[in-house]
Amino acid sequence: MPSPLGHALGAVAAGWAVAGAPRWPRRLPGGAAAAAVQSAAGFALLGLAPDFDLLLGTHSTYTHSVGAVAALGLAAGALGWRSGAGWRWGLAAAAAWGSHILLDWLGTDGAAPVGIMALWPFTTDFYLAGWHVFPPVERRYWLPDFWAKTWTMITRELGLLVPSLALVWWARHPKRGT
């Protein structure tokens, strides 16, 4: 499963792919810079949120499902519609949350039950991709190979997700003069 850094990068890319990347001005103080930071932070938090189920002892279940994505998307869309922002924000929020599910599905999971309950509420079966794009997060910091495994994991996540984020930024960034 990807690290929190990987989930945050994936969520920002997914959210910006739907909502568009805000303009980042040359001068940081002020409205547009604050909007860019807020947008990235909001999407990053949505990408991390499914793992809050660790606190409940239900990791990789309901919050890691299409049911959770749909519920969040509808709620965020309704709030966006009421505020005049439209349904696009609901779709962007759902994409950011859903990126967590996609990245976990592409990860390596050694803890039972293996995988995520991705298709809940339709089924409670657990799913994991047949090929493991992301190595597991090593949490046993006292092991001698902790830092080597952590470096490998972070390097792979950055190598895969930073170019994805840059591509989304380039494709969805408001162009000057428009």
In angstroms and rounded to an integer, the radius of gyration of the C-alpha atoms of the chain is 17
- The confidence score (pLDDT) of residue 45 equals 97
Matching residue, tokens 């046993």: 140
What's the half-sphere exposure (Cβ side, CA atoms, 13 Å) at 44? Answer: 14
- The confidence score (pLDDT) of residue 23 equals 63
User: In degrees, to the nearest 5, what angle opens at C-alpha 88 toward C-alphas 117 and 69?
Assistant: 10
Q: Name the pTM for this structure.
A: 0.89
Q: CA–CA separation, 18 vs 113, rounded Å?
A: 32
Count of all residues that appear for the chain in the document: 178
Segments of the chain with pLDDT less than 70: 23-33, 174-178
Residue spans of alpha helices (H) in the chain:
4-19, 31-48, 66-83, 88-105, 146-172
Greatest C-alpha distance within the chain: 54
> Tens digit of pLDDT for each residue in 60-99?
999 999 999 999 999 999 988 888 777 888 999 999 999 9
Do the beta carbons of residue 23 and residue 36 sit within 8 Å?
Answer: yes
- The confidence score (pLDDT) of residue 173 equals 74
